[in-house]
Amino acid sequence: MKKTLFAFAALLALSFCAAAEDAPAFDGENAYVIDAAGIAGAFKDNVLVVDKAQEEAVSVTVFAYKDGAWQEIGAKAFTRFDEELKIKAKKPARLSDSRYFAVQAADGFSAAYKVEKRRNDLCIEVRSAGSDLQKPACPAFAQNPKAFVFDAAALDDDADENLKITGYLSAGGEVTFRVYAYDAKKRAWIVWGTADIGHNGDTEKVKGGKHDDLDDYRYFAVEALNGQDYKYMPLVKDNDLFVNVSL
């Protein structure tokens, strides 16, 4: 049974999967066919494939439908989260002259895909199966399933000063929160520091641990050392990155 999927519609910049009735058949296993004409936005330049999967190694091959046939336009074996494959057309041809594209993952890898048009590029995120396509993809944080992991690049503003935690907690003693940052080069989470919240409404700067420039890191994880579940909301204010914590 062929594992070919079709994407042709987008709403609010998020791709949705549906069968494109007039899409050409792709004769291959584990493939995902995209109708670029059905995705909102402008596509004039490149096809950008980004590894957002939790697996350590993901291999994909990309095809464009041109002159009545599927033609391979790029391939890559990804080895780290956020690694990119940028496919450019050979002039005078343009990739945007093709309407249909296909991404074929290596056998054994079950993928989900989020497709958008950004900055005139057709952007394809390769994610692990079951990923929530309406949320930013983040590297897996295996140390603590209760930790809050977030993508600072998805916030409205940029922060380049301090990382702070504000606690909206009921009385019950001091709670220590530990913050990690994801080092893309090392492909590992590093301790950024800790903050002790003792009173409701307290704001404390995260201290100790890593103190490189805040804007050198994109992904962060926050865990409560008392093991309790909390609600977290990251935001940027006055060039500082805040994480509001509440019950």
- Name the DSSP letter for residue 207: B
Residue 3 pLDDT? 44
Q: Do domains 4-128 and 148-246 have the same CATH topology?
A: yes
Q: Which of 242, 15, 58 is nearest to 150 (CA)?
A: 242
Buried b (16+ CB within 10 A) or exposed e, 184-206: beeeebeebbbbebeeeebebeb
**Domain extent listing, the chain:** 4-128, 148-246
Higher pLDDT, 161 or 104: 104
Across 105-110, average pLDDT: 86
pTM, rounded to two decimals: 0.82
Which CATH architecture describes the domain 148-246? Sandwich (2.60)
> What is each CA distance from 110 to 104, 106, 140, 148, in whole angstroms?
10, 9, 17, 25
Across 80-106, average pLDDT: 93
pLDDT tens per residue, range 122-170: 999 999 999 999 999 999 999 999 999 999 999 999 998 899 999 998 7
Q: What kind of fold does domain 4-128 have according to CATH?
A: Immunoglobulin-like (2.60.40)
- Cβ burial, residue 94 (10 Å; 0-12/13-18/19+): middle
Q: How confident is the model at residue 41 (pLDDT cuts 50, 70, 90)?
A: very high
Across 72-83, average pLDDT: 94
Give me the chain's average pLDDT, please: 88
pLDDT tens per residue, range 191-204: 999 999 987 889 99
Residue 50 tokens read as 């980004």
Residue 93 pLDDT? 85
pLDDT tens per residue, range 22-32: 789 998 888 99
Residue 176 pLDDT? 96
